[in-house]
């Protein structure tokens, strides 16, 4: 079975909790990374990880769906909700990365070092 597996068979065989569990694990790991890591770029990567966990959850719900969605235009729009959210999350993530990495570069140019604990100029 090397053809792209039809979603009906996936949703029949794999329980939804597996996908959701993976998404949850990635989200929690990303959160832990944001708190424990001290390198700002890695903190950034952990945020990306959390966003992707959410994307996975959206697509899982889109594939498993509720009942009663059919191929009418209205039902179609409803079925595409999850994927639309993923598009928007991706666009936001791309904008965020561009600006965020720009900020990190700017801080590096000013201080010649990037350490999260040193970025406290605004305190007091």
Partner 1 sequence: MNANQLAFIALGGLAFLGALGVVLIPNPVRAALALVVNFFVLGLLYFVLGSQMMGISQIMVYAGAIMVLFLFVIMMLKLDKKAEEVAPGDAWRKRFTWLIGAVIGGAIFGGVMLPLASITTRVNPPQNFGTPQAVGWSLFTTYVWPFEVISVLLLVGIVGSIMLAKRRF
Partner 2 sequence: MVYDWLKGLQDGAINPLGISGPFLLALLKVLLLIIPILTLVPGLIWWERRLLSWMQDRIGPNRTGTITFPDNFPLKALAGKKIRTFGLLQPIADGLKLFLKEDITPSHVDRKIYFIAPAIALFPAFALGGTLPWGPHTGIYGLLTPVANIEIGILYVLAISSLGAYGVVLAGYASNNKYSLMGGLRASAQLISYELGMAMAVAAVVMAAGSMKLTSLVEAQEAPLWGFVEGVQNWFIFTPYGLVAAVVFLIAMIAETNRAPFDLPEAENELIAGYHTEYSSMKFAVFFMGEYAAMFVFSGVFAVLFLGGYNMMPFQWDVLANQIPAMRGFFEFMASANYWLAPLTFIVKCAAGITFFIWLRATLPRLRYDQLMNLGWKTLLPVGVANFIVVGLWVVLTKIWGPVGGFVSLLVAMVFLAVLYLNFVSRTRAEAIGLQSRKIALVDPAPSQRRGITLVDPNKS
124 binds partner 1 (CB under 8 A): no
Find where tokens 């970025």 sit.
119
**What is d(CA 114, CA 22) in angstroms, rounded to the nearest whole number?**
32
54 binds partner 1 (CB under 8 A): no
Question: CB 97: neighbour CB atoms within 10 A?
Answer: 14
Binding mask 66-95 for partner 1 (x = CB under 8 A): xxxxxx---xxx-xx-xxx-xxx-xxxxxx
Question: What's the closest the beta carbon of residue 56 comes to partner 1, in angstroms?
Answer: 6
Residue 122, φ and ψ in degrees, nearest 5: -85, -5
Residues that bind partner 2 (CB under 8 A): 1-4
119 binds partner 1 (CB under 8 A): no
Q: Which is nearer to partner 2, 2 or 35 (CB)?
A: 2
What's the number of CA atoms in the CB half-sphere (13 Å) around residue 101? 8
Which 31-50 positions form the footprint of partner 1 (CB under 8 A)? 31-33, 35-39, 41-42, 44-46, 48-49
């Amino acid at each position: 079975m090397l053809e792209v597996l039809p979603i009906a068979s996936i949703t029949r065989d794999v329980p939804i909790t597996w996908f959701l569990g993976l998404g949850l694990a990635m989200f929690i790991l990303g959160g832990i990374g944001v708190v424990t890591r001290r390198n700002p770029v890695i903190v950034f990567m952990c945020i990306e990880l959390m966003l992707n966990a959410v994307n996975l959850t959206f697509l899982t719900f889109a594939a498993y769906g509720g009942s009663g969605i059919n191929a009418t235009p209205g039902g179609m729009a409803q079925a595409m909700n999850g994927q639309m959210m993923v598009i928007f999350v991706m666009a936001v993530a791309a904008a965020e990365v561009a600006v965020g990495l720009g900020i990190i570069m700017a801080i590096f140019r000013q201080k010649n070092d990037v350490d999260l604990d040193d970025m406290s100029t605004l305190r007091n």
